[in-house]
Chains A and B, each alone.
Chain A
Amino acid sequence: MTAPAPQAPELLADLVRLGVADTAQRIRAAGDPGPLLGAMADEAERQAISDPRRALDATEALVALADLLAIRSAQARARRARGQALAYANRFDEALAVLRDAQRIAGTDAPVEGARAGVAMIHALARLGRLREAAEVGEQAREALAGLGQPVLAARADVNLGVVHRMLDRPEVALACFDRALPALADAPTVAAQVHSNRGEALLDLCDFAAAERAFSDALGTFERAGANRAASIAEGNLADLLARQGRHGPALHHFERARMRLASEGAPGDAARLAIEQAEAQYTVGLLAAAGATYRAAIPVLEEHGMQAETARARAGFSRVLGLEGSLEEATRVAQRAAGDFTALGQPVAAARATLILGQLSIMAGARMEGRALVGGAMEGLRERPADLAAAHALLSADSLRAGDGAAAAGEAEAGLALARGVGLVHLEPTLRHARGMALRALGHSEEAADELELAASELGRLRGTIPTDRFRATFASSHGEVMSDALEALLGPRVPRGVARAFVVAQMGKSGSLLDALARHAGAPPPAEAAEEPSQELVRAHERLRALLARLQESGAGGPASAALRERIADAGREIEQVSARLAARAGYHEIAGAPASLEEVQAMLPRGWGAIEYVQVRAGFSAFVVLRGGAHAVPVGPVGPVEAALERLRFDVARVVARSAAGLPPGSPASAERSLSDLHDLVFSPLAPYLRGVEGLIVGPVGALHAVPFHSLRDADGYLGERLPIVQTPSASVMARLGERGRAAPGGRPLIVAVADDAAPGIEREAEALRATIPDAVVLTGQEATLSAVAHHAAGAPLVHFATHGAFTPGPAGASGLRLADGWLTAADAARLRVSGSVITLSGCDTGRVGWAGGDELTGLIRAFLGAGARAVLGTLWPIHDRTATEFLSRVYALWYADAGTGAAGLTKALQRARREFNAGGVHPAFWSPYFVVGAL
């Protein structure tokens, strides 16, 4: 290192600003220009780390200045600095040319400078994939520097050599280089931090996760303190990669997002693309296939453009896995073959073996079993020092053996994989391997042991889900592991399994509305999420505004008007955008490793009011089953296939649509016979199999699943009439959700009920409804017409024991936040509703389709009800289809009158009031399409 020259930074800045000639004059005037030029080169290299763009300008001028001054060593030095700057800007070919020029100029006159140029070449050669050449050049330079009595410089050569050996899949050699370098670098903390970061990568290759995490964290801290943003981003990206490989999804996504933010401010697209492929690997692990595929597609051309061959091959390998799971086996095979070939050409046998493992998997998926197993076997040879890869290979072979009917081999492979995964702490692989082992044991007839293992797999998955930030990611994760839950349920409900029903019940709870349960656990005892760590984001605000505007346009465009389909698609897009931005903000803000605890069977039995029963539906592959829970016992009952239920629901929706159309055309609704038939069919399909277990119950809690969320359980009809006339019925996303909602208690005393009413020409009854409710609830705050703004509603809803919305509703399946309620100044979207402070409140949504939900894997729900429950509401009254304005006014006015006449005793009272009102309206000959859509979800 050249001796410090305080004026070097200023001179370098002036050089760019004033030009070469002026600076040359100043340097000549200052005395011996050699040391000063060296100091300026040092400064330019520092800039290359922290500000590559500025360094490029500075080094270009510096080379010109050195040439003008014609000092040989300074010319070589300036070119070395220029080479470093070009390499940091990912312009590797240019960097190499400049560094060769530096070596040529240095010649025998400046051997140290020549060797240092050689050291600088290692990085550029490596990034261009010329790894063996890089190792040779580096070794020569290191030996030269050691021989010239330059231990610090030799250590720097070792650092670069270590990186190259790592890329050559020789992590042990790399580690030795780094360890040899460190003692000589004690006085250069930033460089030492870089070595720690590199050591971390080598340790990661060797699956020494704990040591690797320490190394990355140390490096990150040092870079942050030194203000080396880009180096910090790389260290943080490495840390994220490490965490993702261990299945620690929450912290991984947090650090990825932070690294992405750091790199966004740097001019380093190659590094950003490298980070992106690591992030795509994490997305793949969580099950976000579409997102991972998109990330790979975007990153591959950037990596290619910057000549980052090893990273390009890594991206292709990852991309091929995504393509395979998406079913594009031919394309996946082509991409994986290319990756394997590229790794081989780059001299990276371990990486090539990983790509071969993928090829084996793809062959097995394509039905070429023997060929696939041979490829896997070959890959395992190349991966024998890599326990994480071997564990994945064993999982693959286990599944294949099971499919081929060889239970013993499947069990053996799974056990071998489990031992490896446990040995290196790969918690995210354990559920997959346990699942494989459990299925193998089941095939071998070891029912009890199989049930134990599958139960454990399901339980570990539930815990892993809790480490994933944001509902969207959790839902995707649950969806991609749905088979484990189904298999665990089947095994636990099989013969000879002790306490099978009770244990299966808990597994079922893990597979239903997990993210809602997590949200309730996260906010338990804490303020609702209104102020929960969502930093102001213009991007998010704009996305919300766009969604509100689109919802308004949808309503203006007409009920199913020509633009309706396109608008709906745009609304879904806006909803997805809100989800994505929110996910990024959440990941940036931190992570919460909280998984809501599922309720046990005993807990649910204790929660049941005396005389009540509960039905918890589950879907196992294409069939429904149900747990019937009574205080004194529980049964698991097969219900029937999904298809006929969906068909019956379709018929019911058609019946309702016809009644709605006739009413809108000014005609009477017509005969209820067709709707009654549909409701009877649904009764036979989803309730009759359970009825024998529920004789004599006085009330019913129903936890639907999947398509059953659209079933009006209270209107199921048998020979004795409608179920909801005989029994109060309350629904819940899952028994666990109901239990946790119940624990939260009611809204704090002192709050005033809120009535929100936004009438218009199409629905003038809304105004009358508000008046009727005002008479029933005299202490209510009433916001009507222009008073019912978004901000006024948010203000008055906070702490209100009851919030009644009478307004237009819109349901958008898919994105969580895209459904809404119309207010005076825009739409209150589900995303807005999720941030209201309604803990313990009862919410009634007197609008069209307000209780409809979308559902994804793990039965994660979207829609207004999910949003309000997530915000802490104790119970929500929603509607399953469009509601008739006049009848809604009459029906709900009556419900409230009955409810408040009974002293307004919370959701239990509301449910009973609904039951009585239904009876009255049905007795009065009102078509069931008008009084059936209303139902209550939540805690009693």
Chain B
Amino acid sequence: MREHELEQRLGEALSDPAPPPRAVARVRSMMAGPVASAWASILERARALHATILLDTRAHPALVGFRAGVSEGFDVLAASEGRELFLHIRQRPGSAGFTVKGKVEGAPGAAGVCGIAFFEAGSASLVCDAHTDREGEFGAEVPAGRYDLAVGLDPPFLVPGLALE
């Protein structure tokens, strides 16, 4: 069972959509191991399939085909075997962390419902994970760092070395 699902069930059991923070913290701590363990096998498979970065707006002097379009954050577009990952990333005001909003497309045009995990780059250390909704969209708050981002579609793929710093 995934961490957020357990939290949800905890909330239901307590008849409280926002369960007490201490209970949530305990659930997080209890589930950290199992979640990391579930992701370990996905990561191993994802390492075999690196996505191609189609666009990282940080690397471009200007958005080709647009009249400036310098946004408040930066965007990354990656693809692997017809599946696509789009990330819109903003630094959190007054913090070293980042707010990541993303969208996964499975088969072209279809929402990619799956898990997403941020691992410390080059390691199996899970920093945070998220799950897409029915539209393939997800959000995550991620500390500054360098990450291998695993997308849990079948087969899973990896966006390696994503720098959020």
Identify the A interface with B (CB < 8 A): 554-562, 564-565, 568, 654, 657-658, 660-667, 670-671, 674, 760-763, 766, 806-810, 822, 846-849, 882-886, 888
Contacts and interface: CB of A to CB of B under 8 A. Distances in A.
Given A658-B88, A809-B68, A559 B101 contact: no
Given A658-B103, A671-B109, A665 B69 contact: no
Given A665-B77, A674-B135, A762 B65 contact: yes
> Which of under 10, 10 to 19, 20 to 34, or 35 or more describes the interface residues of B?
20 to 34
A849 B65 contact: no
Contacts of A555: 61-62, 68, 70
26 contacts: A554-B70, A557-B61, A559-B60, A559-B62, A565-B91, A568-B72, A654-B88, A657-B75, A660-B69, A663-B66, A664-B57, A664-B60, A664-B64, A664-B69, A665-B54, A667-B54, A760-B62, A762-B62, A762-B67, A807-B67, A809-B67, A848-B67, A848-B69, A882-B67, A883-B67, A884-B65
A560 B65 contact: no
A811 to B, nearest CB: 9
Contacts of B72: 560, 568
B54 A810 contact: no
B130 to A, nearest CB: 15
Contacts of A766: 67
User: When A and B form their complex, which 10 residue pairs have the shortest distance between CB atoms, in order from nearest?
Assistant: A560-B74, A882-B69, A808-B68, A665-B55, A762-B62, A665-B54, A848-B68, A559-B57, A560-B57, A848-B69
Interface centre among B65, B86, B101, B135 (most CB of A within 10 A): B65
Contacts of A665: 54-55, 77
SS class, residues of chain B in contact with chain A: mixed
Contacts of A558: 57-62, 70
A808 B67 contact: yes
B63 interface: yes
Given A560-B71, A674-B103, 20 more contacts: A555-B61, A555-B62, A558-B60, A559-B62, A561-B57, A561-B59, A654-B101, A658-B103, A661-B77, A664-B64, A664-B65, A665-B54, A665-B55, A760-B62, A762-B63, A763-B65, A810-B68, A810-B70, A822-B68, A882-B66
Nearest to B55: A665
Contact of A885 (B67, B73, B101, B109): B67
Contacts of A564: 58, 70, 74
B140 to A, nearest CB: 14
A562 B62 CA distance: 13
Contacts of A882: 63, 66-69, 71
Interface centre among B67, B71, B91, B137 (most CB of A within 10 A): B67
Contacts of B54: 665-667
Contacts of A666: 54
B63 A886 contact: no
A847 B70 CA distance: 11
Interface in B2-21: none
Given A556-B61, A661-B57, A665-B55, A884 B66 contact: yes
B63 A888 contact: no
A660 B69 CA distance: 9
Nearest to B109: A671
A882 to B, nearest CB: 3
A886 B63 CA distance: 13
Nearest to B72: A568
A661 B79 CA distance: 13
A846 B73 CA distance: 22
A587 to B, nearest CB: 31
A886 B66 CA distance: 8
B45 to A, nearest CB: 26
Contacts of A663: 65-66
B69 A849 contact: yes
Contacts of A554: 70
